[in-house]
């Protein structure tokens, strides 16, 4: 399968950055045209986004065929209509995050696009690092994951392994019971 | 698609639906990157037997045995399914393997993504669930919200 038209809708937020990098990498690899689209909310001056859009297209478009589009209206619906009109093969879309208040975080735009798009959709969470730097960036996390337990030195996902935590909890509980034993000074009889 | 974008380790969620088969077929059409590894995952939700305290012990044991047989059957079927998908994709030059997990589908999928240290999760837009008229399956929707890696929705 060859992608010939890749669409990167952007709101110029940091959440779109990782998606932009991935869209560019995929367009480069496939020799595809990259469409950079910004949708200005209704009742907003469309010229506000023009400069940012040109900047985004310039930074992403080195060595690529780039087409920019500035539309006005509801973002989700406009992105889907644009994809239909331009026969887009893939939409690369940034999403805001990973966990937590999930509905708000996925965003209504991303949700509309994923549901209604006529083509493949790749959603990229804001937290995804640049692919080239990903292995290096992951190394400390891996090292942390495989570190020995601080108590028993066995390999563990956590700083203190589950066995040692249970033991510590048990000992603490025993001490508490001992301290609260009836007849001890200061404790109820 | 895969190489430059850094997508070397790919997890594909399968559930037997046409869209999930399309997700697998989609990968077969891509040029595999160097070191590319695809993990096909199918999550089986096991049949759970309630405690049934008022039911005689022998009957409870019989019901539990039947549930166990159903679960084993489902797991075996899922294993055959993912292995068939892996074998088929291996023909396209990818390294591929199949994994079966049990439990809640989303947790199983995300667990597989973590275990495989995947760079991307590929899912069909609509699942094999009872409500197939929705434009996006519930598992795909939940994965979009919770996955820490890019999610590719295939239609």
- Tens of pLDDT, residue by residue over B13-63, are 988 777 777 887 888 888 888 888 999 999 998 888 888 888 888 998 999
Answer whether residue B135 shows pLDDT above 60: no
How far is residue A3's CA from residue B125's CA, in Å, rounded to a whole number?
19
> Do B148 and A98 lie within an 8 Å CB cutoff?
yes
Considering CB atoms only, which of B4, B117, B145 is closest to A106? B145
Delimit the domains of chain A by residue range.
Answer: 5-129, 137-179
Residue pair B27/B94 in contact (Cβ under 8 Å)? The answer is yes
Please give the residue of chain B at the shortest CA–CA distance from A107. B145
How close does chain A come to B91, measured CA to CA in Å?
Answer: 16
Confidence of residue A42 (pLDDT cuts 50, 70, 90): confident
Three-state DSSP state, A138: helix
Q: What's the ipTM?
A: 0.82
Nearest in space to B123 (alpha carbons), one of B107, B102, B144, B108: B144
Nearest in space to A123 (alpha carbons), one of A32, A1, A16: A16
- Average per-residue pLDDT in chain B? 85
In the prediction, which pLDDT does A136 show?
39
How far is residue B145's CA from residue A104's CA, in Å, rounded to a whole number?
9
In the prediction, which pLDDT does A140 show?
40
Chain B partners of A16 at a C-beta cutoff of 8 Å? none
Task: Report pLDDT digits (tens) over A66-123.
Answer: 999 999 888 889 999 999 999 999 999 988 744 334 444 456 788 888 888 999 999 9
> Do A22 and B151 lie within an 8 Å CB cutoff?
no
> Do B4 and A26 lie within an 8 Å CB cutoff?
yes
Helix, strand and coil percent figures for chain B, each rounded to 5: 40, 20, 40
**Tally of CB atoms within 10 A around B63:** 15
In the prediction, which pLDDT does A48 show?
74
In the prediction, which pLDDT does A135 show?
42
Q: Which domains occur in chain B, in start order?
A: 9-154 (3.40.50.620)
Q: If you count them, how many residues does chain B have?
A: 155
Please give the residue of chain B at the shortest CA–CA distance from A120. B154
Please give the residue that has the higher pLDDT: either A174 or B67. Answer: B67
**A67 phi/psi in degrees, rounded to 5:** -125, 130
How far is residue B125's CA from residue B55's CA, in Å, rounded to a whole number?
42
- Average per-residue pLDDT in chain A? 78
Three-state DSSP state, A49: helix
Answer whether residue A57 shows pLDDT above 70: yes
Task: Report pLDDT digits (tens) over B116-130.
Answer: 999 999 988 875 554
Residue pair B39/B10 in contact (Cβ under 8 Å)? The answer is yes
Residue pair B10/B37 in contact (Cβ under 8 Å)? The answer is yes
| CATH superfamily, with its number, for domain A5-129 | HUPs (3.40.50.620)
Give pTM, 2 decimals: 0.73
Residue pair B124/B134 in contact (Cβ under 8 Å)? The answer is no
CB of B120 within 8 Å of any CB in chain A? yes
């Amino acid at each position: 399968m060859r992608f010939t038209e890749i669409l990167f809708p952007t709101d110029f937020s940091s959440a779109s950055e990782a998606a932009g990098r991935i869209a560019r990498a995929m367009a480069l690899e496939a020799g595809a045209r990259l469409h950079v689209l910004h949708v200005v909310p209704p009742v907003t001056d469309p010229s506000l986004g023009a400069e940012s859009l040109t900047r985004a297209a310039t930074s992403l478009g080195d060595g690529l065929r780039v087409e920019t589009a500035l539309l006005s209206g509801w973002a989700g619906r406009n992105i889907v209509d644009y994809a239909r009109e331009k026969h887009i093969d893939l939409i690369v879309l940034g999403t805001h995050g990973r966990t937590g208040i999930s509905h708000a975080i996925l965003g209504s735009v991303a949700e509309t696009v994923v549901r209604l798009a006529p083509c493949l959709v790749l959603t990229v969470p804001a937290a995804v690092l640049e692919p080239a730097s990903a292995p290096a960036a992951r190394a400390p996390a891996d090292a942390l994951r495989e570190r020995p337990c601080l108590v028993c030195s066995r390999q563990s996902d956590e700083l203190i392994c589950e066995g040692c935590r249970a033991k510590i909890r048990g000992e603490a509980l025993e001490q508490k019971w001992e301290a609260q034993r009836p007849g001890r000074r200061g404790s109820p009889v | 698609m895969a190489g430059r974008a850094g997508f070397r380790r790919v997890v594909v969620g399968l559930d037997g639906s046409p869209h999930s088969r399309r997700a697998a077929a989609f990968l077969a059409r891509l040029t595999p990157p160097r070191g590319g590894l695809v993990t096909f995952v199918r999550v089986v939700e096991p049949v759970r037997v309630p405690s049934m305290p008022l039911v005689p012990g022998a009957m409870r044991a019989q019901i539990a045995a039947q549930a166990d047989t159903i679960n084993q059957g489902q797991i075996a079927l899922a294993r055959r399914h993912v292995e068939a998908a892996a074998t088929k994709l291996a023909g396209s030059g990818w390294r591929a393997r199949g994994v079966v997990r049990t439990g809640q589908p989303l947790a199983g999928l995300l667990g597989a993504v973590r275990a495989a240290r995947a760079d991307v999760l590929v899912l069909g837009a609509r699942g094999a669930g009872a409500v197939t008229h929705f434009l996006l399956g519930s598992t795909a929707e939940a994965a979009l919200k919770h996955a820490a890696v890019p999610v590719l929705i295939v239609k």
